[in-house]
């Protein structure tokens, strides 16, 4: 089984002067769900190489068993430091794709032509796509085979308005995921703020927040094994 993980290359949090990137737990938890299941993983990002880590996700109070495991795992750190460029991968090399979040994807993956094309090709091939927290922003410009937004009429989730307000970034992010999905005609489903919420609609799997990242990865595995 081969799964592609796509991470952001964007490190600027709007015009705040602060840094962003991917959220460590949202990478580490799925990474070990997949690795422990014997999955062959390929890591990719728009720029290739080391993706930027959101420094807030590396604070002591943000660490989990999975992030601590990653910190002690030289092989995993090496894999993360050497992501391949996104424009060099294609859906036919993989069984599924998984996008970890962090605020970074809202700026680059939401608009990246290679990411958009890649997600569309996975969808056309009937292969599962899973995206968590802010990574569902990458679906913003993805079209279904009918030319309509891929999420239109689909059950989805992603970082909720209440969660964005709680972290004080409502006016910093380029758009709010909950509002954008509703604008696109999706059936956005919000769970409890910061609680586990994974929504599956056919081959499309979305997770609401960091706590949902490991469960979303497990849902992707379950889908592949079904």
Q: Are the C-beta atoms of residues 224 and 43 closer than 8 Å to each other? A: no
| DSSP-assigned letter for residue 71 | H
CA triplet 1, 199, 94: central angle to 5 degrees?
A: 20
Three-state DSSP class for residue 142: coil
User: For the residues 175-182, what does the mean pLDDT come to?
Assistant: 98
Supply φ then ψ for residue 184, to 5 degrees.
-80, -5
Mean pLDDT, rounded, for 61-75: 97
- The pTM of this model reads 0.98
Cα gap 164→171, rounded to integer Å: 9
Q: Half-sphere exposure (CA, 13 Å, Cβ side) for 140?
A: 20
Task: Determine the Cα–Cα distance for residues 209 and 185; give it in Å rounded to an integer.
Answer: 21
Task: Give residue 142's pLDDT.
Answer: 98
The pLDDT of residue 221 is 98
Q: Domains (ranges, CATH) in the chain?
A: 2-225 (3.40.50.880)
- For range 189-193, the mean pLDDT: 96
pLDDT tens-digit readout, 2-33: 999 999 999 999 999 999 999 999 999 999 99
What pLDDT digit, counting tens, does each position of 97-111 carry? 999 999 999 999 999
């Amino acid at each position: 089984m081969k799964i592609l993980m796509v991470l952001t290359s964007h490190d600027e949090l709007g015009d705040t002067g602060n840094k962003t990137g991917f959220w460590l737990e949202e990478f580490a938890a799925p990474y070990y769900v997949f690795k422990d299941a014997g999955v062959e993983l390929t890591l990719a990002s728009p720029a290739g190489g080391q993706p930027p880590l959101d420094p807030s996700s590396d604070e002591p109070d943000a660490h989990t068993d999975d992030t601590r495991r990653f910190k002690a795992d030289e092989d995993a750190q090496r894999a993360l430091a050497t992501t391949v460029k996104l424009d060099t991968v294609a859906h036919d090399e993989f069984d599924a794709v998984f996008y970890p979040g962090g605020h970074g994807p809202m700026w680059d993956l939401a608009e990246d032509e290679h990411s958009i094309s890649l997600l569309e090709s996975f969808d056309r091939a009937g292969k599962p796509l899973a995206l968590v927290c802010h990574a569902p922003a990458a679906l913003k410009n993805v079209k279904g085979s009918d030319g309509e937004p891929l999420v239109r009429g689909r059950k989805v989730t992603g970082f909720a308005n209440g969660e964005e307000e709680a972290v004080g970034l409502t006016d910093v992010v380029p758009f709010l995921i909950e509002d954008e999905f509703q604008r696109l005609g999706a059936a956005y489903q919000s769970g409890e703020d910061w609680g586990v919420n994974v929504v599956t609609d056919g081959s499309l799997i979305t997770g609401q927040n960091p706590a949902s990242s490991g469960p979303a990865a497990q849902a992707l595995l379950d889908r592949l094994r079904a």
